Amino acid sequence: MLLTFSTSNIISQEKDKYMEITKKIVGSALREQKGYEWLRQLCEIGPRLSGSENSMKAIRWAENKMKDLGFEVWLQPVMVPNWVRGEKEESVIVESEFFKGKELKILALGRSVGTDEKGITAEVIEVQNFDELKVRQNEAKGKIVFFSRAHDLGTVNTFQGYGDAVNQRSQGATEAAKYGAVGVLIRSVTTKHDNVPHTGSMNNYVDSLPKIPAASLGFLDADFLSDALKKDPNLKLKMKLNCRTLPDILSYNVIADLRGTEKPDEIIVVSGHFDSWDLGSGAHDDGGGCIQSLEVLDLFKRLSIKPKRTIRCIFYINEENGVKGGIEYGNYADTTKEKHIAAIESDRGVFTPEGFAVTSDSLTLIKLQNWLPILEYAGTEWIKAGGSGVDISQIKNTQALIGFVPDDQRYFDLHHSANDVFEEVHPREMELGAAAIAMLAYLLSEEL
Amino acid sequence: MLLTFSTSNIISQEKDKYMEITKKIVGSALREQKGYEWLRQLCEIGPRLSGSENSMKAIRWAENKMKDLGFEVWLQPVMVPNWVRGEKEESVIVESEFFKGKELKILALGRSVGTDEKGITAEVIEVQNFDELKVRQNEAKGKIVFFSRAHDLGTVNTFQGYGDAVNQRSQGATEAAKYGAVGVLIRSVTTKHDNVPHTGSMNNYVDSLPKIPAASLGFLDADFLSDALKKDPNLKLKMKLNCRTLPDILSYNVIADLRGTEKPDEIIVVSGHFDSWDLGSGAHDDGGGCIQSLEVLDLFKRLSIKPKRTIRCIFYINEENGVKGGIEYGNYADTTKEKHIAAIESDRGVFTPEGFAVTSDSLTLIKLQNWLPILEYAGTEWIKAGGSGVDISQIKNTQALIGFVPDDQRYFDLHHSANDVFEEVHPREMELGAAAIAMLAYLLSEEL
């Protein structure tokens, strides 16, 4: 439970003013649903994997949209990794008395090497985790290691269940390579038990170990494979991945400013990451977060609200497989004469707002919590210490780094998969989030 | 913001015990998703309008399900209204230079009289509200009054927007009849701007006034009609409703008990209403709320949690058009020697839990709020005074009447329409709600 201080640092008259502004912002966001319409347009372009042609189309779309809305726009150049999936992956059981010919739905993991034309064909060893793999290391040589641990549905916070399962994705290939495995399959890390595989980034390969290909399995096919291995432990699976990493390529962070009226060199960042995986349309992850950030600026503009400090909307590139955009902007922030006061990131889907997670000193946190009587009108239930966002955490010396936290019950149904499409975004949920972020950004500008 | 007291009335050792139980309940609900599966089965039966054959099938299904799960079951007889829609409604513009032949999507409102075989054909007067109708009363005679005020999307709480718009549905026919109108159309009260009409109950007709038929229009067709009337104010519309009210018919509340170990005659009610409108499958309104209530009992049973007081699950019949089930149970509660300690109702959709709305004295409210450190694990963010539920409010002399309040952003997209189907229910959202209600019911049993 949140303990709040009954004495607010916002005097009563100011509170009335802020409440009036909050109501305007919420009303405009929910009634006009402008950002929702922009997200529809963005999603029509398709997914936006870093370095892809589509990502460049989307960057141009964003640049034009920001200019049309009347903002100053800066395309900040960033060199990004250029990992490409290539032709669709194949996986089939090629030797088995019972299961021969069964095809499995797989997706290469981001950063994985591909196989050669023939693919790899090997027996499969199923393990739950790295400890079990270590114990059974002698069985792994020459085989495909199948990490089959599922996202635990029993945790209320789905990010916790995700965190508990995701190391098989990030480190599985490295761990398996230690013991001479030739490939890795993981059960998709997802809360939805369909057969749509969920990808995501692996850590970089370790130079001292062989680089073995890694892919995720649809949840139902992971069940199938697990059952099949019980009946036929010696079945042989073929997997063929056509992915590869091309040389780094030029891309951009897309940045729009609403210039502050009194302290234009003091910056409040509102942001999301513009790249997505190459499936679905990256609607929740993180097209929606970007569009919310842009709508923050537009809400101020269309409602003639003039913040004292500059509100800067950043669409970071390459969060998914490199964070090069975040790092590049962090480098810029280190050297500019502008002062970065605070930064907000929306990268947990665009569902109904719950609260904000803050990295700051404790006095700043209390200050923010004292704004709750205003912020709660826009759906913010709490402000808690701890956590912010991958991209904004590259900005040093701010007073507060803040992650927007919406309801997370549906997020990992969609995350990193073909399920992450515009149709899964609810206009009111998304717009209420934009309003919540706008109001926090405004208070950060005026009161921090 | 919620003010809570830092001194809890639950001593530390008890808190640990309750936390352990909460974790078990949440884990079992989210992992096993049993209630979600039962809701699927229930929805396959179809909608459950009071008095309908389907409603009786569903009542038998519920009785069997409760018995299969091992509970004592009581079918409490209730006479309910038997309003039937009959053949599909028709509405078409029959005279107009521009719009002749255009069909409009309409749905009779619950309790409306039908038209005769020929239907009614009349000019249309569009008004926003009863005040405008009063001012323009001379124009209403012999016409169809079209109440076109929309649910205001700008309120954060969608129940507020609903409340602001719904009087045209509940009282529109009576108000229009005062001025000699021959029929009523209303813009569907909905947050979703598709063309699916949303029905709902009218108030009873007033005996001193003519009983005129009333129907709701799909939102897009309401826009169409509004535009058409601007171009051709004298267009004539035909509407034909085939609904009628048959004599009251026997139905049942379905009631299951988990007998208390120490105080079996002290009752904690968990409940929803089992009837629905005759469209979609009443998944959120309120099949889901019923199933959550049943799952509360089953969670205790399957986890061997033995409450001191009796936990009673009630599926009320006829909330939508009569509240006869609620009233009947209230009468029973007045006369039984059992003591009703508290009652919880889930009838706001089965979305992610937010909190509980409580009608009680202030000391009881504080007691409940002191449980928040436990309840928040199951997703409960707050406990506030005010409001409970239509059915449980028929039970007198309880210590607390409590409404379960989930996120409401999506509810009125579905409410009372063909959109309210199983596919709109998310398993984690629903199950987390069941867990939240279970934990509150348990604390009410042990600590109130």
Instruction: List the CATH number of the domain containing A294.
Output: 3.40.630.10
Nearest-angstrom CA–CA distance, A78 and B372: 47
**What total of structural domains would you count in chain B?**
2
Residue B73 shares a structural domain with residue B184: no
Residue by residue, pLDDT tens for chain A (448 residues) are 444 444 456 667 899 999 999 999 999 999 999 999 999 999 999 999 999 999 999 999 999 999 999 999 999 999 999 999 999 999 999 999 999 999 999 999 999 999 999 999 999 999 999 999 999 999 999 999 999 999 999 999 999 999 999 999 999 999 999 999 999 999 999 999 999 999 999 999 999 999 999 999 999 999 999 999 999 999 999 999 999 999 999 999 999 999 999 999 999 999 999 999 999 999 999 999 999 999 999 999 999 999 999 999 999 999 999 999 999 999 999 999 999 999 999 999 999 999 999 999 999 999 999 999 999 999 999 999 998 999 999 999 999 999 999 999 999 999 999 999 999 999 999 999 999 999 999 999 999 9
Specify whether A65 is located in the same domain as A52: yes
A238 touches chain B (CB under 8 A): no
Coil vs helix vs strand at B55: helix
Are A287 and A428 part of one and the same domain? yes
State the average pLDDT over residues B217-241.
98
- The per-residue pLDDT for range B177-206, each reduced to its tens digit, is 999 999 999 999 999 999 999 999 999 999
Mean of the pLDDT values across residues B42-46? 98
Structure tokens at A315: 């669409």
A2 found inside a domain: no
Residue B5 lies in a domain: no
Flag if B1 and A152 touch (Cβ within 8 Å): no
Find the helix packing angle between A34-45 and A288-302, rounded to 10°.
140
State the sign of the Cα–Cα–Cα–Cα dihedral B36, B40, B41, B47.
positive
A154 to B31: CB separation less than 8 angstroms, yes or no? yes
pTM: 0.96
* Cα dihedral value A33, A37, A42, A43, nearest 10: 100
Q: Is the dihedral of CA A386, A389, A395, A401 positive or negative?
A: negative
pLDDT confidence band for B319 (50 / 70 / 90): very high
The verdict on a CB contact (< 8 Å) between B155 and A31 is no
Separate counts of helices (H) and strands (E) for chain B: 14, 15
Is pLDDT above 90 for B446? yes
Kindly determine whether residue B376 and residue A1, on different chains, have CB atoms separated by under 8 Å.
Answer: yes
Assess if residue A292 is contained within a domain: yes
Q: Pick from B26, B156, B354: which is nearest to A154 by CB?
A: B26
Domain boundary (A242, A269, A295) is at A242
CA angle, corner A278, sides to A91 and B429, nearest 5?
Answer: 90
| Type of residue found at B222 | A
Distance CA(A89)–CA(A239), nearest Å, equals 8
Decide if B2 is inside a domain. Answer: no
- Active-site residue numbers of A? 319
Cβ atoms A91, A103 nearer than 8 A = yes
Q: Which of residues 190-229 of A touch B (CB under 8 A)?
A: 191
A260 lies in the same domain as A337: yes
- DSSP state at residue B133: H
Task: Return left, alpha or beta for A416; rule: phi > 0 is left, psi -120 to 50 is alpha, else beta.
Answer: left
Task: Say whether B154 and A378 touch across the interface (CB within 8 A).
Answer: no
Across the interface, whether the CB atoms of A372 and B191 are under 8 A apart is answered no
Set B175, B319, B328, B429: catalytic member: B319
Predicted local distance difference test score (pLDDT) of residue B6: 43
Give the residue among A255, A391, A370, A267 at the shortest CA–CA distance from A323. A391
Task: Determine the Cα–Cα distance for residues B252 and B229; give it in Å rounded to an integer.
Answer: 46
Amino acid A8: pLDDT: 52
Answer yes or no: do A154 and B3 touch at CB < 8 A: no
Indicate the SS3 state at residue B315.
strand
A6 in a structural domain: no
Which pLDDT value is given to residue A1?
Answer: 40
> Which residues in chain B are contacts of A6 at CB distance < 8 A?
3
Name residues whose C-beta falls within 8 Å of residue A74's C-beta, 6 or more positions apart in sequence: A254, A255, A256, A257
Cα distance between residue B413 and residue B433, in whole Å: 20
Residue A135 included in any domain = yes
**Per-residue pLDDT averaged across B133-146, rounded?**
98
Shared-domain flag, residues B236 and B256 = no
Residues B64 and B20 in one domain: yes
| Whether residue A223 is found in the same domain as residue A298 | no
Q: Does A7 reside within a domain?
A: no
List the single residue in A26, A153, A382 with the smallest CB-CB distance to B156: A26
Of B123, B283, B284, B279, the C-alpha closest to B216 is: B279
Sheet holding A263-273, edge to edge: A72-84, A244-258, A309-316, A263-273, A339-345, A400-406, A353-360, A382-385
The pLDDT assigned to A12 comes to 74
Torsion of CA B443, B445, B447, B448, to 10 degrees: 110
The one-letter code for the residue type at A29 is A
Average pLDDT, chain B: 96
In the stretch 418-437 of chain A, residues with CB closer than 8 A to chain B read: 426, 428-429, 432
In chain B, what percentage of residues exceed pLDDT 70?
98
Rounded Cα–Cα distance for residues A424 and A429 (Å): 11
Q: How far apart are CA A256 and CA B378, in angstroms?
A: 40
CB atoms closer than 10 angstroms to residue B250: 11
pLDDT for the residue A3: 45
Sorted by sequence, the CB contacts under 8 Å of residue A225 that are 6+ apart come out as: A104, A124, A126, A146, A148, A185, A217, A237
| Residue that finishes a domain, picked among A242, A261, A289 | A242
B14 touches chain A (CB under 8 A): no
Per the structure, the complete domain to which residue B133 belongs is given by 86-242
Closest CA to B333 of B350, B312, B353: B312
Count Cβ atoms below 10 Å from residue A227 Cβ, excluding itself.
Answer: 11
What pLDDT sits at residue B387?
87
Quote the CA–CA distance of A321 and B100 in Å, as a whole number. 59
Residues B356 and B428 in one domain: yes
Residue B1 domain flag: no
* Shared domain check, A60 and A127: no
Say which amino acid occupies A373.
Answer: P
Residues of chain B with C-beta less than 8 angstroms from the C-beta of A407: 352, 407
Q: DSSP characters for B377-443?
A: GGT--EEEES---TTGGGS-S-SEEEEEEE--TTHHHHTTBTT--GGG--HHHHHHHHHHHHHHHHH
| Among B193, B208, B242, residue at a domain's last position | B242
Residues A410, A301 share a domain: yes
Length of chain A: 448
Count of beta carbons in the 10 Å neighbourhood of residue B84: 15
How do the residues of chain A divide into helix, strand and coil, expressed in percent and rounded to 5? Answer: 40, 25, 35
The answer, for A20 touching chain B at a CB cutoff of 8 Å, is no
Residues A289, A419 within the same domain:
yes
**C-alpha closest to that of A190 among B48, B427, B52, B321:** B427
pLDDT tens-digit map of B273-317: 999 999 999 999 999 999 999 999 999 999 999 999 999 999 999
Compare CB distances from B1 to A27, A30, A376 and report the shortest one's residue: A376
Same domain, B92 and B119: yes
Is residue B148 within 8 Å of residue B127, measured between CB atoms? yes
**Residues B329-382 pLDDT 10s:** 999 999 999 999 999 999 999 999 999 999 999 999 999 999 999 999 999 999
Q: Residue B202: which CATH number?
A: 3.50.30.30
